Every structure is written in C-alpha cells, then in structure tokens.
Structure 1
Amino acid sequence: MLLKDFYKVLESSKEEETFITKIYIEKSHSLYSGHFPDRPVTPGVILMHLFKEEAERRTSQNLGLIKASNVKFMAVVDPNTSDEVILETQITEEEGITKVKGIAKQNNALALKFNALYKAV
C-alpha cells in the first residue's frame, strides 16, 4: 500500500467482467493537510494508484506501470463530500501484460477514467 491508512476496502464484488470495489477514504489522513489544507482534494495520481493496488489484489502480483492512456479526470474527489469511492475495474492478462480499464466514482459522479498496462515486477 502506497499510503499507510489512506483507505480500506469496504465491499468488493464482480459483475460480469467488471470488479466493483467500494473503498473508504480516511479524510483525516495527512495527505490532505498538504493537498490542500482548506480544500482537500484526492490527487489524481493517488486515484490511479488505487487501480494498480486493485489489480495487484486480483492478480496476486506486484505490478509496475508500463503505460497509462486515455487518462481523464472528470471531477474532484473531495473527502469532505463523501468518504466513499467506487472503483470499477476490468482486468485482463495477455502475454505477461496486465491490462486495466478503470473508472472511479464519488457520489455517482465520474471522477476518473483511464486505461493502463502493467507488468509483473
């Protein structure tokens, strides 16, 4: 886990080819004191990293990012608005490459959408 005590998984399920994971974000985490003190925002790179950790849990591998594409930040993830984020993750493995398509939502609003390629490290 990149940031100790930043989040915990509340629920996890699979619907067809998509893993649905509800996570709780600790809004008192020290990350938010610097990003930003008066208006906490979850950094986009942290949201992307949540998908890496989700893929690692699902594949039982340590993964390193090869490439991210179609990265679209659609809304701010504000821990004061809601301390829950939903991750919708599609994971496929082919020839040693783990492909991830991810969508993050907060309050049913799309916050992040991206594709990534990872390799076991």
Structure 2
Amino acid sequence: MTKLDIHQILKLLPHRYPILLVDRVLELDEGKRIKSLKNVTINEPFFTGHFPHRPVMPGVLMLEAMAQTAALLSFATAGVVPDDKTVYYFAGIDGARFKRPVEPGDQLVMEVELLRHKAGIYKFKGVARVGEDIACEAELMCTMRTIA
C-alpha cells in the first residue's frame, strides 16, 4: 500500500488553497482503492458564510474532496504523472447522500473504490466518514483529458 504526504499530493493535483481538499493519502492500492484524509479547521474560508452561527462544511466540497481522492487513484492506476495540460473533470455524480454534518475539528476520511474504467471514463464508489459515521456517499464518474 502506498501513502502520500502533502508534498507528493501537490505534485499530482493542480488544486491549491482554498480548494485543495486532500491533506494525506493513508492507503493507495493501484487499480482498486484509496483512502485519504482532510483535516477540517475553523480557518476554512467557506465557514465564514456557511454558516456564521453554525459552521458546516458544504456537501459539494465533500464531493469535491472525494473527487480529488479519486483523481489520485486514477493517476496511479493509469500510470500518469499529470502536467499542466492534464485536466481531471467530473462527468457525473449519482446517489449522493449526506448523512452527518462535518464541522471544524473533524477529520474527514475519504474511501474511494474504482468500480470500472473504460475509454477514459472512471467510475467510483466514494464514502466520506468522520470517525465511524458516514458523512457523505456517492458514485462518481470522472474523466481525464489533455488540453491543447
């Protein structure tokens, strides 16, 4: 099982503050699954407006964290080291469910399993947890493209 620290993640993902949502890869089994971690702090810029009286991580950012995790699995599976011409896009989200709010101080652990890939389209099953509790789950479809 491979592990990645933030320095290795920064070499693979184009995302930067405030949209980089993966702090560490805990486990990576190429072609199969990945487990990553996002430390959620009160310093996240979205908490200012979501919500001032009760800070909660937006669900769409939980999905984005799972998609970034999925991208890392895709790159490892395809043997690709992305460059500034590689773009990784969402192609679809199915069955998204939000089951627990994510708040400052939580550690969001994303587990993403590769279900299949064909013709550059990858399909994943993702679950994000805080402790043992499921915070979010969805099936994600993503694609990798090279831009001119």
Shorter chain as denominator, the TM-score bin is 0.7 to 0.9
Check if 1:35 corresponds to 2:40: no
Q: Over alpha carbons, which structure has the higher Rg?
A: 2
Q: Give the TM-score taking structure 1 as reference length.
A: 0.83
5+ residue gaps, structure 1, are none
Contact persistence 1:104–1:113 (CA under 8 A): yes
Report which stretch shifted further, 10-19 or 26-35: 10-19
Query: Superposition pairs for residues 1-121 of structure 1, below 5 Å?
Result: 1=15, 3-4=17-18, 7-14=21-28, 17-60=32-75, 62-79=87-104, 82-91=105-114, 92-121=116-145
| Greater CA drift, 87-96 or 32-41 | 87-96
Supply the distance in 1 between the matched residues of 2:64 and 2:16 (Cα, whole angstroms). 8
> Which 10-residue stretch deviates more, 39-48 or 14-23?
14-23
Percent identical among aligned pairs is: 20
Higher strand share: 1
User: Which has the larger helix fraction?
Assistant: 2
Q: Over the residues paired in the alignment, what is the CA RMSD in angstroms? A: 2.2
Between 111-120 and 92-101, the greater mean CA deviation after superposition = 92-101
Change (3 A) 1:5 1:51: closer
For 2:70 and 2:112, locate their aligned partners in 1 and report how far apart those are by CA, in whole Å. Answer: 8
